[in-house]
Amino acid sequence: MFIEAGVCVAVFVSMLLYFPAKPPTPPSVSASKKRVDYRRGVFTLLRKYQVFAIGVPYALTGVYGSWMSLLGVILQDKVSQDEAAYLGFWSSIAGILVAVLFARISDLFAGHLKAAVLILLFVSAGSYTWFAALIETFVLPPVPGWIAMTYISIILGGICEIALQPFGLELACEASYPVAEGVTAGLLTALYNGVAVIFFFSFMIPQVDIQYMNWVLVAAVVVSIPLTISYRESYRRLSLDSR
């Protein structure tokens, strides 16, 4: 932790000494256009349904992030703590690598991000329903292939949840333009953290069964599907940059 703290301090000091307020030239046409000021931008976002239609699914990935931190408890008496740690580790690594790949794919198929988000949500819903069913039907000794199926369901679901986040943020920024991306990202991050706080506070309910959290994760993904379907794609920012 001391090494990590040292790296963070070094990066922070470097930013203070060098990092410019803005690049010498705008990175895109839309970036050079005048944006709505911060306060007005916040009120504009709060009145836009389309931002929340994609922003809420983004925020509900906070359930996944919180759920992953409890994976060792959820798999208690089923796998070892080391096995649970590896499950979480490989799920995160796979999600990051595939998210980078999807970023490249999204560039090739610009203007069709809603379809990509829906595919990710359906696969994620199926994966976590599969995982919840595996937990509900667990017996000792585990049936042959149970560990492998657990790995596949968690990693596949994690890939979809992590890849969904940049797509959701991009769609929200498109829907909110000309509000600055930083304002939109700030709102979505606040929603994400709010969902995570509610998830953790639920454990203060007396005699709550932690296994129900698996179905809460499934519900969070399923609820996101109709919201995403209701989102009307608008790519004003992309159209401006493509001229």
Question: In a structure prediction context, what are the per-residue pLDDT tens digits for the chain, which is 243 residues long?
Answer: 889 899 999 999 988 888 777 777 777 777 767 777 778 878 888 888 888 899 999 999 999 988 888 888 888 877 778 888 888 888 888 878 887 887 777 777 677 788 889 999 999 999 999 999 888 887 666 777 888 888 899 889 988 888 888 888 888 888 888 888 888 888 899 999 999 999 888 877 777 777 788 898 999 999 999 999 999 888 777 777 666
Domain with 99, as residue range(s), is 51-238
Query: Is 16 among the domain residues?
Result: no
- pLDDT reported for residue 243: 65
For 207, left (φ over 0), alpha (ψ -120 to 50), or beta?
left
Kindly report the pTM of this predicted structure: 0.83
How far is Cα of residue 183 from the mean position of the Cα atoms in its chain? Answer: 18
Query: Is 30 among the domain residues?
Result: no
Output the DSSP codes for 83-99: HHHHHHHHHHHHHHHHH
Query: Is 74 among the domain residues?
Result: yes
Query: Is 44 among the domain residues?
Result: no
Name the domain count of the chain.
1
Query: Is 10 among the domain residues?
Result: no
Query: Is 6 among the domain residues?
Result: no
Query: Is 43 among the domain residues?
Result: no
CATH code: domain of residue 79: 1.20.1250.20
Query: Is 1 among the domain residues?
Result: no
